Amino acid sequence: MSLTANEVRTVYSTTDDIVRNLSLVRDEIADTAAKIDEQEMAGLAGHLSQTGRVFVAGAGRSGLVLRMAAMRLMHLGMTVHVAGDTTTPAISSGDLLLVASGSGTTSGVVKSAETAAKAGARIAAFTTNPDSPLAGLADALVIIPAAQKTDHGSSVSRQYSGSLFEQVLFLATETIFQSLWDITDAPAEDLWLRHANLE
């Protein structure tokens, strides 16, 4: 049965709905994260640990996840820029572009990767699609085996659109941050000194 917008507003979730869907989301994230290749993750972390600036580029919700990752990398003391911000400088040789696109075909993200490659920068990418243009440009590639956002009939995920990719992307970037932090002797208090104080 199809509901109108007004009818949807009068439908309330029960506790059972919340419990069921909390389990659904949790289990899908855990199952998908368990299928990520740890060597791919370690390779990407290795690129991040090299000298040079880090640039991040992503669209939509994936872009928001990469902004969170950029903040954590900044806390580690890296020089990090978000593509599209007004003060972001030109990328160049020795820099790293960190990108994410579920499909691997998002035009702005692929264009950023092409520009970075022409400038001699390295590219680290997250995608679901190993055969995508973005994957082909990557020096370090992590495949997240989630449904693409237009794959509405997928058996991989019951969640809407690209939610599972974005959720596991967040988990992956947090894992890489934690791993990079683990190899330093820096206490949390030192990282906190870099936290934004103009909020």
| 120-130 confidence digits (pLDDT tens) | 999 999 999 99
**Interior angle at CA 39, CA 38 and CA 45, nearest 5:** 90
In this prediction, residue 6 carries a pLDDT of 61
Task: Supply 120's token pair.
Answer: 């001699």
pLDDT of residue 147 exceeding 90, the answer is: no
pLDDT at 1: 58
* Three-class secondary structure assignment of 148-166: CCCCCCCCCCCCCCCHHHH
Q: Which of 162, 169, 109, 124 is nearest to 144 (CA)?
A: 169
- Convert the pLDDT of each residue in 69-105 to its tens digit: 999 999 999 999 999 999 999 999 999 999 999 999 9
Band the pLDDT of 7: cuts 50, 70, 90.
low
**Domain residue spans of the chain:** 15-192
CA atoms of 165 and 161, how far apart (whole Å): 9
What's the CA dihedral at 38, 39, 42, 44 to 10 degrees?
A: -110
Residue 32 exposure: Cα atoms within 13 Å on the Cβ side: 31
Q: Could you give the angle at the alpha carbon of 55 between the alpha carbons of 50 and 57, nearest 5°?
A: 135
Does the pLDDT value for residue 170 go beyond 70? yes
Which active-site residues does the annotation give?
166
Q: Which CATH class is domain 15-192?
A: alpha beta
Q: What was the pLDDT predicted at 122? A: 98
Distance CA 136, CA 108 (A): 16
Give yes or no for residue 190 having a pLDDT over 70: yes
**Is the pLDDT confidence value at 188 over 80?**
yes
Token pair in block for residue 20: 């069921």
Confidence of residue 13 (pLDDT cuts 50, 70, 90): confident
For helices 163-182 and 38-48, the axis angle rounded to 10 degrees is 60
Q: Average model confidence (pLDDT) for the chain?
A: 93
